[in-house]
Amino acid sequence: MKSLDPRAPLVLDTRELGRRPGSQRQVSRQVPAPADLGIEVLHVPEGAPVDLDLRLESVMEGVLVTGEARATLEGECARCLEPISDEIEVTFQELYVYEQHQTPHDEDDEVSRLEDDLVDLEPQLRDAVVLALPFQPLCRDDCPGLCTECGARLADDPDHSHEEPIDPRWAGLAALQQDEAPRGD
């Protein structure tokens, strides 16, 4: 496991908080977005500002961090590929357990730990952002997508239509379909 870099934007030093349970500290900072924050079709551009408001709270087992993050999103519509820009606001909460505070059942990687008083916010920020994103971002809820015949963006041209296919191969196919599976109109 690599050790944390105290200068990394999403690594937070908790030393000033103290170790007395109940002590609290507010931290606000703006950090550049790490790479791959989001999903391929919708993400916070790398290096774009992420505003963080954090509350650190000393508890028996470690440090509880409650955070709020705001950032801008860029991506493209899953139906028509039009660029999308949006904003995202997420909250997250994580208990970072003291290194020396080990119990047999939290040996696994599921537990976030303090390392030399440092906590790494990146995994929690990443999870919170990904969970908040739609699987299929759309430029608008009723985006009609692209024309299956010519690829035109239908939102720009709602009355878009094509003549009946005149390509003889398609005409032949259409005739064949009519013969085999007559549709009752």
Q: Which residues bind Zn ion (CB under 5 A)?
A: 77, 79-80, 82, 139, 143, 147, 149-150, 152
| Closer residue to Zn ion (CB): 131 or 150 | 150
Q: Extract the runs of DSSP E, i.e. beta strands, from the chain.
A: 11-13, 24-32, 37-39, 42-44, 49-58, 62-76, 83-97, 112-113, 118-120
User: How does strand 49-58 pair with strand 24-32?
Assistant: antiparallel
Of the pair 109, 163, the CB lying nearest Zn ion is at 163
The distance of closest approach from Cβ of residue 164 to Zn ion in the complex, given in angstroms and rounded to an integer, is 13
Measured CA to CA, the distance from residue 88 to residue 126 in angstroms comes to 12
User: In whole angstroms, how close is the CB of 78 to Zn ion at the nearest point?
Assistant: 8
Chain centre to alpha carbon of residue 6:
25
Rounded to a whole number of angstroms, the minimum distance from the CB of residue 170 to Zn ion is 15
Q: Which residues are CB-neighbours of 75 under 8 A, at least 6 positions away? A: 38, 39, 41, 42, 43, 83, 84, 86, 137
User: Token pair 């969970």 is at which residue?
Assistant: 131
In single-letter form, the type of residue at position 86 comes to: D
Shorter beta-carbon distance to Zn ion: residue 59 or 147: 147
- Dihedral angle, C-alpha 150, 156, 161, 167, nearest 10 °: -10
Q: Quick one: 59 or 81, whose CB is closer to Zn ion? A: 81
For the bound state, the minimum distance from the C-beta of residue 157 to Zn ion, rounded and expressed in Å, comes to 8
Torsion sign across C-alpha atoms 166, 167, 171, 173 = negative
For Zn ion, the closer CB: 159 or 185: 159
Question: Closest separation between CB of residue 136 and Zn ion, Å?
Answer: 10
Provide, rounded to whole angstroms, the least separation between the CB of residue 88 and Zn ion. 19
| Closer CB to Zn ion, 54 or 80, in the complex | 80
